[in-house]
Amino acid sequence: MYLIVGLGNPGEEYAHTRHNAGFDAVDAIAEEVGARYWKTECGALTTKGVYRDHDMVLAKPQSFMNTSGGPVKQLMNAYGVGPEQLIVIHDELDIDPGTVRAKHGGGHAGHNGLRSICDKLGTRDWLRVRVGIGRPPGRMNVADYVLSLPKKEAADDFVQAVGLGSQAALSLVQVGLEKTQQAFN
């Protein structure tokens, strides 16, 4: 069984912002696998699905981004999932908009959601799908940028990256890291 966690912030004011790329990707996966019933457990909205004979739990932590690690750890304990079956989908400033990258392990690069997960799990070794949002223009504050809705061309890039992110996560489940990296990185 895989636990696929999309990072984001709860609430309508954050819906479809760059920082909620993980939530949007998990929603796309749910649609792909026909998972429609969401429930609240362990501090997250969850649903279950099957993709090509692989069971999965999809989750959107309902704590804010900075405390995502608590719900992730609770869900891993509840479902008996180890770090090797955890896939985290998140926004990434250091990747061009409209693109994604899959990887295993690594640091948090200042991403507070990843920092929280690292701290709660005591490891950095899990699968990640990094949804590219690019850097803010000019001197725009990073927090303002990630919490804003992409406009015009940036909105198209965002939708494309979210779609690729959901497909990359499903690819990790189906064919593993190396083949997913060959296809998406």
Catalytic residue among 19, 90, 104, 108: 19
Domain ranges of the chain: 2-184
Pick from 88, 92, 90, 102: which is nearest to 184 by CA? 102
Q: Is the distance from CB of 116 to CB of 68 less than 8 angstroms?
A: yes
Pick the CATH number of 2-184 from 3.30.479.30, 3.40.50.1470, 3.20.20.140, 3.30.9.10: 3.40.50.1470
Is 19 noted as a catalytic residue in this protein?
Answer: yes
pLDDT tens over the chain, length 185 residues: 999 999 999 999 999 999 999 999 999 999 999 999 999 999 999 999 999 999 999 999 999 999 999 999 999 999 999 999 999 999 999 999 999 999 999 988 888 999 999 999 999 999 999 999 999 989 999 999 999 999 888 999 999 999 999 999 999 999 999 999 999 99
Pick from 111, 110, 108, 100: which is nearest to 125 by CA? 108
How far is residue 154 CA from its own chain's centroid?
Answer: 19
Pair type for strands 44-51 and 54-61: antiparallel
**Cα gap 56→49, rounded to integer Å:** 5
